[in-house]
Each structure stands twice: as C-alpha cells, then as structure tokens.
C-alpha cells in the first residue's frame, strides 16, 4: 500500500511539472508550438494568457521587420515558420554572392523572397560569376525589380542583359561595375526601361574592347534619366548621345574617363538642358571651353573640379557669372595654381548663395577670402587644404568676416597659434574646427581655443603632422579630400559641441598615455588608422 501511495505521489508531481512547463512554454515562446496547437496560440485569452505577438497581424509584423538590420532580420527568420514566411515576403532588398554556383538555388531562393524590388549581385573578382541563364531566371522571378546593382559579373553578355531588360521594364536604377557586356546590352536597358532615373557605370569592359565603340543611347530612358555617373571608362564618350538626349538630367558625374570632353559640352550648350544642378568632374580632360559651355546651365548649384589642370580662372569666372545659384564649390587645383583670386572673387561677386567652399591646392589670398566672407553671408562650411598662402592673416580675416561659418577645416597650411587665437574671438556660429598637418599650431594653441570657446569641437592633429612623411602631402584629392557631414540642428549645437570638445581632450590624454607605452611610429600608425574615417568618401 505504501508503494502504491508513493507511485501516486510521483505521478501527481509529474502532472504538475508537465502543466507548469506547458504554461511556461506558452508564455515565453508560443511560436514554437505545433500546428495542432494553433487554436490555443491564436486564442490565448480563453486560457487566461496574454500573447500579443501571435495576435499581431502579418502586415504589422512585417513593418517591425522592416525597421531591423539585415542581420537581425536573418535571426528573426529562425524563430518559427510564421516569422520565416513573413520576413521573406516582406523583404524588398536582397544582396547575393553572384558566383556560378548560385544558379541551382535561385528558384527556391526567390520562392521565399518573392517581393524583392532592390537586388545586388556581387561576385568576388577571383571567382567565376553567374551567367546569362541565372540573370534571366532572376528577371522572370522578379518582374517588379526597380534597382539592380552588378559588381564583377564578368560572365554576363549582351544577350543576358537584353532579356533582363525586356522582363524588368520598371527598372529605375542600374549600377554596374567591372562587367563585360557592351553597348548592345546597355542600349537594351535604355530602350526598354522607360522609368530609368539613375545610371552608374564603372569599368564596363565590353565597350573598351573595340577601337570605335557603338554609341550608347539615348533610348526611351533618356526622358526619365536624372543622374548619370561614369567612372574609369576608356570609351566613355560613347555615352555622349545619352548625355545629350537626357533632357531632364540633373546630376552629371564623370570620373577618370579618357578623351577630350570639350566638344561634347559645347554641343550640350547648344541643345541643352538647363536642368543640370550638380556636376562632378575628376581627372577629366576638360578646359575652360568645357566650363564655359557648362556655364549655360543656369540652375547649377553644385560644382566639383578635381584634378582638372586645364581649368583656369577664366572658366571659373564664366561659371560664376551665369550660375548665380551656386551653393557648393569644390576645387582641387592639384598644385597647378591656375585657379586663384580672380576666379574666387568672381564667385564672391555673383554667387551670394554659396554655403560650402572647399579649396585644395589653391592659393587664395586675403583679398579673395575677405570678399567671399563679405558677399556670401550664408557661407557655413569652409575647407582650406595644401595652400601656401593661407596663414594667420587669412585666418584672422575669416574669423572677423565669416559670421555664419559653422565648420572650418585647415590642413597643411602655414597657420600658427596666432590663427587659433583669432578663431577664439571670431566666427560666433562656429561649431567645429579641424586642424591637421599645420606645423605652426601647437597643442597649447588648440587648448586655448577649447577653453575660450567651450561649445566648439576642436580636432587638432599635431602628432601626425610631426611624423608625416614629406612624400605623403602632395595636395592630391585622396590625401586632402574633405567631406562635410550634415549640419546639426541649432538647438543641439552647443550640447554636441561640448561633448565633442570633451571627447577630443580625453582622446588627446589617451594618446599621451599610449605614447608612454609604445614607440612613436607605432602610435602614429594606430592614430592614422583611427582617423581614417574622417577622409572623404572616394569615388570607388
């Protein structure tokens, strides 16, 4: 009898333990239940349990997923079958490793991700990429594709691109780099994708194989194109028909494309569009003739001239006189010294809306800087790099005249602590100052500026200036490029300035302690890596 009682007690304990485990599992992770338990999951109120996630509609759950990072979304898809399905059906962006072995899994992959509208296909340069068959299947499974990025897909041909273009006529953005299809494939896209707004082409090998490339464009896409970006093209001028035919073009970027571009821009001035507002030229064979043609675009607001040694004051004066809406001007003179006071004074006279000015390898004097400060009341961001003429008098002029200035960068200029003292007493709206490779500026000068202007974030780099090899400061775009981040709201400017200033002081103190433990060269190398994020985004 005692044995029977003991057995009954054990059975009761097991029942209670099982019931408790069931309730705990239902509360913590009801998504792990089997299909037979769906009624209990979807109606937990009947059992006195609150489970809001299971009651959440699929549409709301999809919105939650859309606010997560790709890594977090991948983790969420492993929670349960429902989350796997909802996550896949709500994912619009997808990036795939476009190797040859992708082909067998494409169908199953897009069974799960059947709502993709933005797709990136990237292949390692040492691997064999997908071929036309894979691209065709993708285009059939994703007819609503609006964005496509191709990187190093060297096995794709004109035939594959032609089929893709016919299947994905709603494409709005195409970016391709290091691909081998040619003019026929590109023309197929322009002829079929009437909604295309952005086109970015880099190292398109197919058009470089022939001495005379087939003209590209304009096609039906010319009416909708707003941005054209061409990089490192041997026969980049074969896109001339497209550039001339894009009547609604607003942004034109040409980087390291060989050939004489003056003729094309002259034709553009004759036919052309006044819609262009943003022009970037880098290492381009263009002279004052081309700039004078560009000056007919009266809506021009942003101009970048990077390492274009044939451009002089004459061309800049033409731009200034006709493009009075200019807001941002970046000039990398590449030590050519062909743009100086004359061109900058013209900008000061005719472009009162100027907000951002970056001068690299340009030698302005107090005369042009004073006029810019006086005539451009909205000048908020100024960078002066690798200039032999910007010293303490010029900085003092900026401090006294640039009342709206918020961000100032000085690099590789003959400025000393006297210039820092002038900044401490001027530029009432200053938020951030960055000083690099200016050997005349000492840590004491930076500390004086911090103490005097507590709300200003001061980034002073003197260690790198002392250890910098002379061969590294050549004034090139890669070495001296400047990128201004978005301006903070005025209400937070003071707070953010104090935080950044204190962070700079703590950083300097840490660097000193680190210097006691390591050799100077090791410290300099480490600090240079840490500060690598402050350089400009490159056109890569």
pLDDT in tens, 79-138: 787 777 777 777 888 999 999 999 999 998 888 888 889 999 999 988 999 999 999 999
DSSP string, 422-480: HHHTS-TT--EEEEES-TB--HHHHHHHHHH-TTSEEEEE-HHHHH--GGG-S--HHHH
Q: Of 209-223, 226-240, 469-483, where does mean pLDDT reach its minimum?
A: 469-483
Give the closest residue to 488 by CA, choosing from 435, 410, 431.
431
Note the pLDDT of residue 258. Answer: 86
Residue 372's pLDDT band, with cuts at 50, 70 and 90, is very high
Q: Provide the terminal-to-terminal Cα distance of the chain, rounded to the nearest Å.
A: 85
Contact 482, 360 (CB under 8 A): yes
Q: Which candidate, 327, 314, 449, places its Cα nearest to that of 381? A: 327
Give the CATH number of domain 92-212; options: 3.80.10.10, 3.40.50.300, 2.60.40.10, 3.20.20.140: 3.80.10.10
Answer whether 304's CB lies under 8 Å from 280's CB: yes
| Position 23 pLDDT exceeds 90 | no
Q: Which H or E run includes 162? A: helix 158-167
In the beta sheet, which residues pair with residue 229? 200, 253
Which of 145-159, 201-215, 219-233, 347-361 is least confident?
A: 201-215
The winner for highest mean pLDDT among 49-63, 114-128, 264-278, 456-470 is: 114-128
Instruction: Tell me if domain 32-91 and domain 92-212 are identical in fold.
Output: no
Sign of CA dihedral 229, 235, 240, 246: negative
| Stretch 38-56: mean pLDDT | 56
Mean pLDDT check: name the lowest of 25-29, 321-325, 431-435. Answer: 25-29
Q: What's the confidence (pLDDT) of residue 57?
A: 79
- Contact, 26 vs 44, CB < 8 A? yes
Distance CA 66, CA 69 (A): 8
Contact present, 285 and 261 (Cβ < 8 Å): yes
What's the pLDDT tens digit per position in 238-279? 999 999 999 899 999 999 998 889 999 999 887 755 689 999
Distances (CA, A) of 506 to 133, 392, 432, 501, 509: 57, 28, 17, 9, 5
Please name the CATH architecture into which domain 32-91 falls.
Up-down Bundle (1.20)
Main-chain phi, psi angles of 332, to 5 degrees: -110, 100
Per-residue pLDDT for 471 more than 60? no
Contact in structure between 384 and 409 (CB atoms under 8 Å): yes
**CA–CA gap between residue 444 and residue 446 (Å, rounded):** 5
The full set of domain ranges for the chain reads: 32-91, 92-212
Backbone CA torsion sign across 517, 520, 522, 524: positive
| Calpha distance 179→159 (Å, rounded) | 14
* Cross-strand partners of 434: 409, 459
| Residue 68 tokens, joined | 């997560």
Q: Which residues pair with 385 in a beta bridge?
A: 360, 411
Question: Would you state the pLDDT for residue 513?
Answer: 37
Report the distance separating Cα 103 and Cα 155, nearest Å: 13
Q: Is 301 or 479 the better-scoring residue by pLDDT? A: 301
> Per-residue pLDDT for 524 more than 50?
no
């Amino acid at each position: 009898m005692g044995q029977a009682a003991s057995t009954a007690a054990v059975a009761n304990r097991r029942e209670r333990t099982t019931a408790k485990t069931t309730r705990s599992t239902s509360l913590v992770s009801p998504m792990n239940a089997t299909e037979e338990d769906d009624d209990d999951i979807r109606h937990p109120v009947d059992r006195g349990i609150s489970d809001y996630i299971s009651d959440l509609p699929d549409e709301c759950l999809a919105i939650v997923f859309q606010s997560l990072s790709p890594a977090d979304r991948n983790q969420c898809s492993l929670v349960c079958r429902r989350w796997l399905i909802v996550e896949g059906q709500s994912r619009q962006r997808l990036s795939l490793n476009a190797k040859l072995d992708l082909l067998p899994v494409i169908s199953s992959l897009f069974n799960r991700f059947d709502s993709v509208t933005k797709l990136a296909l990237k292949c390692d340069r040492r691997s064999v990429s997908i071929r036309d068959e894979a691209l065709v299947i993708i285009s059939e499974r994703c007819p609503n594709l609006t964005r496509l990025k191709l990187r190093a897909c060297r096995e794709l041909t004109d035939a594959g691109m032609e089929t893709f273009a016919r299947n994905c006529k709603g494409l709005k953005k195409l970016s391709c780099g290091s691909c081998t299809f040619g003019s026929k494939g590109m023309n197929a896209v322009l002829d079929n994708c009437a909604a295309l707004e952005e086109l970015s082409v880099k190292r398109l090998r197919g058009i470089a194989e022939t001495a005379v490339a087939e003209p590209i464009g304009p096609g039906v896409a010319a009416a909708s194109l707003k941005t054209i970006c061409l990089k490192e093209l041997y026969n980049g001028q074969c896109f001339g028909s497209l550039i001339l035919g894009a009547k609604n073009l607003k942004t034109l970027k040409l980087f390291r494309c060989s050939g004489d571009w003056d003729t094309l821009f002259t034709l553009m001035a004759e036919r052309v569009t006044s819609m262009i507002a943003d022009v970037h030229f880098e290492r381009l064979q263009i002279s004052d003739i081309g700039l004078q043609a560009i000056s007919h675009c009266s809506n021009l607001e942003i101009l970048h001239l990077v390492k274009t040694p044939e451009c002089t004051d004459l061309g800049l004066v033409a731009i200034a006189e006709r493009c009075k809406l200019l807001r941002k001007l970046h000039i990398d003179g590449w030590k050519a010294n062909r743009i100086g006071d004359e061109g900058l004074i013209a900008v000061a006279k005719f472009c009162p809306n100027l907000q951002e000015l970056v001068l690299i390898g340009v030698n302005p004097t107090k005369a042009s800087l004073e006029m810019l400060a006086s005539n451009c009341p909205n000048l908020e961001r100024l960078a002066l790099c690798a200039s032999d003429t910007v010293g303490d008098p010029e900085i003092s002029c900026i401090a006294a005249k640039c009342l709206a200035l918020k961000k100032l960068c000085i690099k590789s200029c003959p400025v000393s602590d006297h210039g820092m003292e002038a900044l401490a007493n001027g530029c009432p709206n200053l938020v951030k100052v960055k000083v690099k490779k200016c050997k005349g500026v000492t840590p004491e000068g930076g500390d004086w500026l911090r103490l005097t202007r507590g709300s200003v974030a001061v980034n002073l780099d003197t260690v790198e200036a002392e250890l910098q090899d002379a061969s590294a400061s050549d004034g090139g775009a890669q070495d001296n490029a400047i990128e201004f981040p978005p301006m903070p709201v005025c209400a937070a400017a003071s707070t953010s300035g104090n935080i950044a200033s204190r962070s700079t002081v703590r950083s300097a103190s840490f660097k000193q302690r680190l210097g006691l433990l390591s050799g100077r060269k090791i410290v300099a190398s480490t600090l240079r890596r840490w500060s690598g994020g402050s350089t400009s985004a490159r056109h890569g």
